[in-house]
Chains A and B, each alone.
Chain A
Amino acid sequence: MATTATITLASDIMPTYGGYSKTMTLTQGGNALDVDATTGLQRRKLAATTAVDLITMASLLVETEDGAAAGSGAAKLYVKNIGDGKGTIDKSVYVSVSLGTVSGTIQEISRLYGGDWMFIPVTGIDATSDVVVTPLTNDTVVLEYALYYQED
């Protein structure tokens, strides 16, 4: 039951940079066991500049930090801005991605312009580490996302 992710970076900015490729197997925290749960790949359409939860940790069994496996969990988050969902990808506008509580404190960590994607570890802590997204404009934008994690 393996989940693997391979990144390939290529760039001609620096003449001596030969690119990079790395594959990881998504494991549970501190051991070689595979992650055992996922939200699956989902889509979320947004059409307002209001901050909303993309993932509410308390709604899932994503208990990587505050459950039985406190302090030793692992979870990985994938999010991509695919444009309006009808083939138009606008690279001039973005959706900000934050961690925190939509009704309280959030910390913006990323801006996904059209076509941009991110793949990062998250803690899964209930209430304080929800994934909150905020479009720059009222134009329709669609996010694809998936969370892979170890179930409590």
Chain B
Amino acid sequence: MATTTAAMTLTSDLVSAPMSISTTTTCMKAGTEADGLDQMDTGYLELASGTQKNLLDATTLGVGKANKVYICNESTDETYFIEIMINAMVVGKLYAGDWMFLPWSAIDTDADIEVTAHTGTNKITYTLFHEGRTLLAVD
């Protein structure tokens, strides 16, 4: 079985008793306890300010399957950000240096992950761990 793990450590001194959260998960196929995700896509792109694109397309992934998404805005200018949307619903903004990790449900073929760049040309890395997609036929 392929094994993919995602771990996070979060520390904060916002409250008087400093808080630390450590968590890890092994990425499994939907609804299984012994069958790990076995396919992945990873990439890098530069997106000019004002440009909106589908970063990940739900259509070929299949409803009800497991998809674990990591996205990072690798820009260094703190005023740069990308807006993350799913099916036109704004999820939030990733500013320069920010990352996100989402078990993306891709609930239907409209639930694409869309990104819009703001302020300047943003540099984006992403990785999708998944359990298979429908490959497109040869033109």
Contacts and interface: CB of A to CB of B under 8 A. Distances in A.
A75 interface: yes
Chain B interface category by residue count? 35 or more
B32 A11 contact: no
Contacts of A116: 25, 103
Given A11-B3, A115-B26, A121-B94, A3 B102 contact: no
A45 B118 CA distance: 39
A99 B15 CA distance: 27
Interface string B28-59: 10111100011110100000000000000000
Given A110-B103, A113-B31, A121-B98, A9 B127 contact: yes
A87 interface: no
Chain B contact residues: over half helix, strand or loop, or mixed?
A: strand
Contact of B101 (A3, A14, A118): A118
Contacts of A120: 84, 91-92, 100-102
A87 to B, nearest CB: 15
Interface in A22-53: 22, 24-27, 29-32, 35-38, 40-41
18 contacts: A1-B13, A4-B10, A8-B5, A9-B4, A9-B7, A10-B4, A11-B3, A11-B4, A17-B42, A24-B97, A30-B119, A31-B79, A74-B93, A75-B92, A91-B31, A108-B107, A113-B103, A120-B100
